[in-house]
Structure 1
Amino acid sequence: MKNNYLLALLSAFILWLAWPPIPYSSILLFVGFVPLLIACERVMRSSLAKKGQKIFTLAFITGFIWNTASIYWVFHAMNAYLPAWISILISLIPFGLAPLLMAAVFRLYYQLRKRNTIFLSFSGLISFWIAYEYLHQLWDLSFPWMTLGNGFANFHQLIQWYDITGVYGGTLWIWLANILIFLLAWQRISKTESLSTKKLVISISATVLIPSVISIIQYTSYEEHINPSEIVVVQPNIDPYGKFGHIPPEDQLLNLITLSEGVAKPNTEFFIWPETAISARGGINEEEFRSYPAYLQITNFLDKYHNGNVLSGIESHRIFSDQATHTVRPYADMFIDSYNASVLIDRSSKLQFYHKSKLVPGVEQMPFGGALSFMKPLFDHFGGTTGGYGSDPEPTVFYSASGIGAAPVICYESIWGDYVAQYVKKGAQFIAIVTNDGWWKNTSGKDQHLQYAKLRAIENRRWVARSANTGISGFINQRGDIVQKTAWWVPASLSQEINLNEELTVYTKLGDVIVYLSIIGSLLSIALLLRPKTK
């Protein structure tokens, strides 16, 4: 059994090495699960007791080490809001929950193997895995950061067909390659040839090479329609750990305007400022924002730019006379709902707000709020709105006076392919990501987040303009190339002429079809598990 544990550790190491941000390492994903599959096969063919439990343990070891090594930086984000002991507990959600679900998938695979052919069992394994990934982006403990298809973000030339399949096409591709390579390796290990070695080699080559070649052809031949718009992204570089109580909101705003003016052109149409860039003591009441000095200062700044708009993150709230939402809190004799939001400001009196929908579990949203409502006083004690931001039920597209549609994607939301696609379906011609990755400090988290934005550009064939408070800010074209980017932890601003796009990709139109097929496959696999044993 000791050797099986070593194989599980080897899988974890390969998967970690393959994960962004290491450039071009993602090809290792094609073999990342092979050692684990060999270890599971050895257990299944052994005389050991409690085989299912042992397979579960092996898969959990692989998942836990791979996840923790890849997203160790999560602790910093939690620690920004909460005491260390609570941060550690909440960090166990992404560190341990996903590996538990992965291990459950392998346990179900083992149950299938006991009563079905290897083909049906592997079909069930793939279906269960994709269904687990989809579940992990839907519920209150969502964290789809480690969806397998995200792993190709560091080698985007190979996955241009994400404009048809989305990231779940990458997950399917990885599993098909791993299973075929495992079959070849197992026949070598067991010195058998149940399947033709030649056919396996051909199948492996075709599985890996055909999608790669198609993608490279797409990449080299793709041409953007010329529809230019001048955009500026700003990186003010305000240390989030020193922001509150140390840097007056007036100084923050002056810094944003100064950086914007440094690279702006007369025809600049959008100035993108980062998450929570606009703030005020006590927060900003959305209904009264026009009366704030900050609003007047921004509109005065925009007077120099005929078609100029500021798309910015904002710390805001609304006052209600009753408990309009489940996240409101008592406020004097009224109720208040706080938001991590974005706003579009132009030279008219019109204001457009969007409230972040995909909230970070345990930090911005109380998971299973109804069942865990008794914990709200604890979260209120440690940060006020922590665990209780209000949100919008669906994406909102911001439209400039000239008719340009922008997707105001806030931070964490940029890892949801289907959610970002909804913006595009509603008319977004480019994607604006406003974020603050400074909570994670100088870790791989900021690099992974930037890389994942490339996937949204490919899926929807939209430029991405990314404004990150401390970095990394930049521009990504419709092929997923990072055209410009800033350095980490420096004040900066960039100007770029991008091409707006109105055409919808297959993925934007149809969404995650592979997920729907996998859910059907999972249900059929469960039916196989539940059918009575034949005598």
Structure 2
Amino acid sequence: MFKLKNLLLPTLTGLLLWLAWPPLPFAPLLFFAFVPLLILNDQLKHTPKAGARIFRNSFFGFFIWNTLSLYWIYNAGQELGVAGAIGIVSVPLLLGSLLMSLPFVMFHRVRRNFGETIGLFALICCWIGYEYLHQEWQLAFPWMTLGNGLAEYHQLVQWYEYTGAFGGTLWILLANIIVYSIYKKYKLLKTEQKSLTGLSWLSIRLALHLAIPLGLSLWMYNHYQEEGNPSNVVVVQPNVDPFSEKFNGLPPEMQLERLIRLSDSLGQPNTEFFIWPETAIIPLVREDNLPYDQSVELIQRFLSKYKNGNVLTGAVTVKWYNDKKTSTARYNKESSRYYDVYNAGLLIENLPKVQVYHKSKLVPGVESYPYSSVLGFLGNIVIDLGGTSGGYGKDNANPVLYTQSGIGIAPAVCYESIFGSFMADHVLRDAQLLAIITNDGWWKNTSGYKQHLQYAKLRAIETRRSIARSANTGISAFINQRGDIIKQTSWWTQTAIKADLNLNTKLTFYSKYGDIIAVLGSIFAFGFIMLSFLWRFISKGRPKFNTQ
């Protein structure tokens, strides 16, 4: 059972993490937000069933954090009824809170057998391992990766070009451990009247731990120079209400006319890209008939006045097969054929060929059916919760699209932009410019679309690529290679913006080598998990480690 006095400390951790999370401007709280939970774990370590108590209290604290930071997800499911909304919300809130609690249980188990120092090392590794798992498996939702929490202060994490967001996670966890150690040392001094030397050293260590990365980042920020290779880009925000207009109320031809009109209002002879948002083209587009699609023909007619112009637009496409070529292909009884539906991006230019990009990082339960080969019997439940049976296709044969002038542009469709290594892999394939196409209006006027925008700044730093961000409803923006938002739109506004964005061909360390920190942390985490299960057999008859 929960005890009220035990809930105070995890509640404090949950509230501190929420206050530190974008778009709130209190990110420095991240550096000690975990300390109350660590103190509680220390208090419970010798109580009966300590592991279960630590898990319950940790879960409670993290559930507070997730609920206050991700409440906006509920809005996306309102059209599906109460069951659909609850289904969409439950995965990130419940599953995320559960996964976040497990590293603290592992910390308790390792500390009990090997001492606090090794236990704290296990906590770091297991937390990083959880974040990496939540980025790579089919239930992926890396929205709450700790390193993302520093996005509001992108000037202070310029070294993400080497470490990615996992470097921020490591920095935050180490700071919390040092603050926790200071607390324990201070408590010991009060009871035993010992020397202040240890406390002073820990304080100096904390100051250096914070100051050195901050100083390095500010130096990098102020000395970073972009390559002088500009490309003129127009970003369109059509502001079509996804609930009442996008798919039912406003005719597709009127939506397309609005996109062309807004593009033409800012287009100039040297404009190379017109960026339109996710699912901008309605209705379904057949990939085997792209050059003759009516929407494509209208766009190419618009582009005829722009010699080097390209339209990168979101669309929902369909591809037909004679047999089941992919795991996501569905069967159509009327034609006796299989087909895949894709949340896609199209690069349209003054050529017959239209290049296609397929979104492959799909939202679990909404755009994809996780582990469908194993959990196929749950198909009807997934439909009831607002998901899709079979879901979207997700093969990504063309992660980078190339213009006739040789510019490589890498699209990220909505949710994909929160995956750092995924975007870095696109850059490794010669992308010189990143484009985020999204429809953040599903979340209404909440912190969701603001968080999404802030995370994009980190992708710019990790890859040192300029970003053009087109949101149907949300905030459209241009972001330079330092992560600065150089121009943005207002919420719920029909408009277009333009800028000259510098292209870049140089690869950052992170683009080349990816999530090294996450991989190493996960390896150590796996070792600790295996050791914790085997230790009960190895250590029979041995006394447990004294954790006082």
1:145 equivalent to 2:143? Answer yes
- Residues 478-521 of structure 1 show CA distances to partners (whole Å, capped at 9, x for unaligned) of 00000000000110100000100000000000101101221232
- Secondary structure of 2:149's counterpart equals helix
Q: CA separation in 2, counterparts of 1:465 and 1:370?
A: 37
Aligned residue in 1 for 2:546:
none
1:402 equivalent to 2:401? Answer no
Aligned residue in 1 for 2:229:
227
List gaps (5 residues or longer) in structure 2: 543-548
Partner of residue 358 from structure 2, selected from 355, 358, 363: 355
Q: CA separation in 2, counterparts of 1:400 and 1:371?
A: 41
Partner of residue 376 from structure 1, selected from 379, 383, 403: 379
Question: Greater CA deviation, 450-459 or 370-379?
Answer: 370-379
CA contact (8 A) 1:363 1:387 kept: no
**Code of the aligned partner of 2:451:** Q
1:244, distance to aligned residue in structure 2 (A): 1.7
Q: Cα distance 1:382–1:349, how it changes in 2: closer, same or farther (>3 A)?
A: farther
Question: Greater CA deviation, 182-191 or 362-371?
Answer: 182-191
- Residues 175-214 of structure 1 show CA distances to partners (whole Å, capped at 9, x for unaligned) of 0000000111122234356970011001100111110010
1:386, distance to aligned residue in structure 2 (A): 5.9
- Residues 240-286 of structure 1 show CA distances to partners (whole Å, capped at 9, x for unaligned) of 01122211111110000000011111100000000000122xx1111
Q: Cα distance 1:385–1:38, how it changes in 2: closer, same or farther (>3 A)?
A: closer
CA contact (8 A) 1:395 1:422 kept: no
Partner of residue 201 from structure 1, selected from 200, 203, 207: 203
Q: Cα distance 1:101–1:496, how it changes in 2: closer, same or farther (>3 A)?
A: same
Q: CA separation in 2, counterparts of 1:482 and 1:400?
A: 25
Aligned residue in 2 for 1:505:
508
Q: Cα distance 1:382–1:136, how it changes in 2: closer, same or farther (>3 A)?
A: closer
CA contact (8 A) 2:186 2:199 kept: no
Q: CA separation in 2, counterparts of 1:440 and 1:387?
A: 24
CA contact (8 A) 1:461 1:501 kept: yes
Q: CA separation in 1, counterparts of 2:467 and 2:61?
A: 34
Q: CA separation in 1, counterparts of 2:182 and 2:213?
A: 20
CA contact (8 A) 1:363 1:386 kept: no
Aligned residue in 2 for 1:417:
420
CA contact (8 A) 1:379 1:387 kept: no
Q: CA separation in 1, counterparts of 2:317 and 2:385?
A: 19
- Residues 24-49 of structure 1 show CA distances to partners (whole Å, capped at 9, x for unaligned) of x11110011011111111111x5x31
1:382, distance to aligned residue in structure 2 (A): 8.2
Q: CA separation in 2, counterparts of 1:380 and 1:110?
A: 40
Q: CA separation in 2, counterparts of 1:215 and 1:37?
A: 29
- Secondary structure of 1:176's counterpart equals helix
CA contact (8 A) 1:232 1:270 kept: yes
Q: Cα distance 1:241–1:102, how it changes in 2: closer, same or farther (>3 A)?
A: same
CA contact (8 A) 1:279 1:316 kept: no
1:255 equivalent to 2:281? Answer no
CA contact (8 A) 1:410 1:435 kept: yes
Aligned residue in 2 for 1:238:
240
1:78, distance to aligned residue in structure 2 (A): 2.9
Q: Cα distance 1:497–1:471, how it changes in 2: closer, same or farther (>3 A)?
A: same
CA contact (8 A) 1:364 1:386 kept: no
CA contact (8 A) 2:88 2:386 kept: no
Q: Residues 177-216 of structure 1: matches in 2 within 5 Å?
A: 177-190=175-188, 191=190, 196-216=198-218
CA contact (8 A) 1:362 1:387 kept: no
Aligned residue in 2 for 1:388:
391
CA contact (8 A) 2:477 2:488 kept: yes
Q: Residues 79-118 of structure 1: matches in 2 within 5 Å?
A: 79-80=78-79, 82-118=80-116
Aligned residue in 2 for 1:134:
132
- Under a length normalisation based on structure 2, what TM-score does the superposition of the two structures give? 0.94
Q: CA separation in 1, counterparts of 2:72 and 2:428?
A: 33
Aligned residue in 2 for 1:339:
342
Question: Structure 1 runs of 4+ off > 6 angstroms?
Answer: 381-384
Aligned residue in 1 for 2:31:
30
Q: CA separation in 1, counterparts of 2:59 and 2:386?
A: 34
Q: Cα distance 1:100–1:64, how it changes in 2: closer, same or farther (>3 A)?
A: same
1:446 equivalent to 2:449? Answer yes
**Code of the aligned partner of 2:125:** S
Q: CA separation in 2, counterparts of 1:509 and 1:16?
A: 33
Q: Residues 477-496 of structure 1: matches in 2 within 5 Å?
A: 477-496=480-499
**Code of the aligned partner of 1:480:** G
Q: CA separation in 1, counterparts of 2:325 and 2:113?
A: 53
**Code of the aligned partner of 2:209:** T
- Secondary structure of 2:317's counterpart equals strand
Q: Cα distance 1:379–1:111, how it changes in 2: closer, same or farther (>3 A)?
A: closer
1:79, distance to aligned residue in structure 2 (A): 3.0
1:292, distance to aligned residue in structure 2 (A): 2.0
Aligned residue in 2 for 1:431:
434
Question: Greater CA deviation, 7-16 or 387-396?
Answer: 387-396
- Residues 46-97 of structure 1 show CA distances to partners (whole Å, capped at 9, x for unaligned) of 5x311111111111011111011101111122334x3321320331110011
Q: CA separation in 1, counterparts of 2:320 and 2:450?
A: 37
CA contact (8 A) 2:365 2:388 kept: no
- Residues 326-385 of structure 1 show CA distances to partners (whole Å, capped at 9, x for unaligned) of 222222221221110001000011111011100001100012111222343565688795
**Code of the aligned partner of 1:204:** L
1:230, distance to aligned residue in structure 2 (A): 0.2
Aligned residue in 1 for 2:62:
63
CA contact (8 A) 2:369 2:387 kept: no
Percentage identity across paired residues of the two chains: 48
Partner of residue 6 from structure 2, selected from 4, 7, 29: 4
List gaps (5 residues or longer) in structure 1: none
- Secondary structure of 1:432's counterpart equals strand
Q: CA separation in 1, counterparts of 2:364 and 2:386?
A: 15
1:527, distance to aligned residue in structure 2 (A): 4.9
**Code of the aligned partner of 2:405:** S
**Aligned-pair Cα RMSD in Å:** 1.7
Alignment coverage as a number of residue pairs = 529
Q: Cα distance 1:412–1:384, how it changes in 2: closer, same or farther (>3 A)?
A: closer
Partner of residue 282 from structure 2, selected from 275, 279, 282: 279
Aligned residue in 2 for 1:270:
273
- Secondary structure of 2:77's counterpart equals helix
Aligned residue in 2 for 1:14:
16
- Secondary structure of 2:276's counterpart equals strand
CA contact (8 A) 1:275 1:436 kept: yes
**Code of the aligned partner of 2:310:** N
- Secondary structure of 2:71's counterpart equals coil
- Residues 402-447 of structure 1 show CA distances to partners (whole Å, capped at 9, x for unaligned) of 0000011100000000000011000100100000011111110000
Q: CA separation in 2, counterparts of 1:118 and 1:384?
A: 44
